Structure 1
């Protein structure tokens, strides 16, 4: 069953093609999930590829969990959580994009050990200084920095992220504007969640499209790793 139902979008601002495209992207991401990956291969290059795919699997699952969770919370009337989930999905997309960019640069150097150490460091990346390794390989990059890098490829992504941040932070949109309804005529303040079901569904629909960027990044990285492994095999044959 598709995640997004055409019948949900009743205001006419979202066309069927946009909804179908989002569903196709989500279905494709789900189809890429595997239960296990053998990380031991004939060469270190194979291990690098397996580790990178494992990193991809983890981030796909993170994004899908937030997508499914955001949908469920919206149906349960907790739209604020839905906005937080949508924001987290964009963070996964930006984080993985930066991972692919940096790993590709290392592969271009031809340093397999460095590539493996980089993936391991990113897998355990943290901002907690007491957990940082001596070589600082697991220092987490600021997510805003990663978002700004991706924004160069996907213009408008940072703006969407900032809008979601306004809702999820304890600012006006994330507190008083969301839960307080003041009757201008009577002066009575009523309290309850904001009734903007369709607007929040559009948010989820929008971030679902960004999952396509993760697939695109992984496809490009996979092609680069295949070429890297083949180059290594050719070099060994020549030796």
Structure 2
């Protein structure tokens, strides 16, 4: 993904490029062509519904990663920064989802976890009231709330996101300051930023590094489901021995 021979060693996070490439590759390997939604039991229900969420959002993150990298290599730094901002949003969305669904699974509220996964998979803002029902609220969670949640474990995530937003929004950093060229007289000249690729690469690597968080969240979810299965199995074992002790089992 990132070739160290094509990146200056002075670039921020240069020493982490190998690890970043590894995290991206691992997340890419989790892609599936289909998800089995046959509700055999609670475990298959939550796994299937959550997998729908994960497959969609992982694809979104990888699409912005690959598209942003192509834009960066083609000299379109501003488009690349837009993609990086989207990477922050995808990572924050996955992280917040895992935080919330794991809380439910860890307290054996699997039915609620399935409902949450369903709602988050189909969450939206545009005309959402028409889609909401008595059972499901499909209103998307505020992305800033999710960014702030990610900020608790990813240092300066909110600050980085705000900085990227300044470039993406039609503010000075994404317009006048971005294209204005220094001159010796009183005139103002415009053109492409000098060293645009090298100046943008550090922020791009920062966004790409969030795939380590995504991979970790996928493992957290899997671990939570496995512990749920373990608790259920142990409960059955305990029930068997309790009935055996009371003479109910022969």
TM-score normalised by the chain length of structure 2: 0.86
- My pick for the range that moved more, 12-21 or 150-159, is 12-21
Deviations, residues 102-146 of structure 1 (Å, cap 9, x unaligned): 101111332222111111111111123434413452111100011
CA distance, structure 1, for counterparts of residue 182 and residue 14 of structure 2:
36
- Name 1:191's counterpart in structure 2: 190
3-state SS, counterpart of residue 186 of structure 2: coil
Q: How many residues align?
A: 236
User: Cα distance 1:15–1:148, how it changes in 2: closer, same or farther (>3 A)?
Assistant: closer
TM-score relative to the length of structure 1: 0.90
| Bigger Rg, which one | 2
Q: Contact 1:59/1:92 (CA < 8 Å) preserved in 2?
A: yes
Aligned partner of residue 210 in structure 2, secondary structure? helix
CA RMSD of aligned residues (A): 2.0
Unaligned runs of 5+ in 2: 241-250
Alignment correspondent of 1:51: 49
More off after superposition, 6-15 vs 59-68: 6-15
- Check whether the contact 2:11–2:202 (CA below 8 A) recurs between aligned residues: no
Q: Residue in 1 aligned with 2:107?
A: 109
1:233 is displaced (CA, Å) by 4.5
Q: How far 1:13 moved relative to its partner?
A: 4.1
Structure 1 runs not aligned, ≥5 long: none
Q: CA deviation at 1:41?
A: 4.8
Q: Secondary structure in 2 aligned to 1:194?
A: coil
Q: Does 1:94 align with 2:97?
A: no
Instruction: Measure the CA separation in 1 of the matches of 2:227 and 2:159.
Output: 36
Cα distance in structure 1, aligned partners of 2:43 and 2:20: 34
Q: Is the CA contact (8 Å cut-off) linking 2:13 and 2:202 kept in structure 1?
A: no
Preserved contact between residue 118 and residue 137 of structure 1 (Cα < 8 Å): no
**Pair 1:149 & 2:157 matched:** no
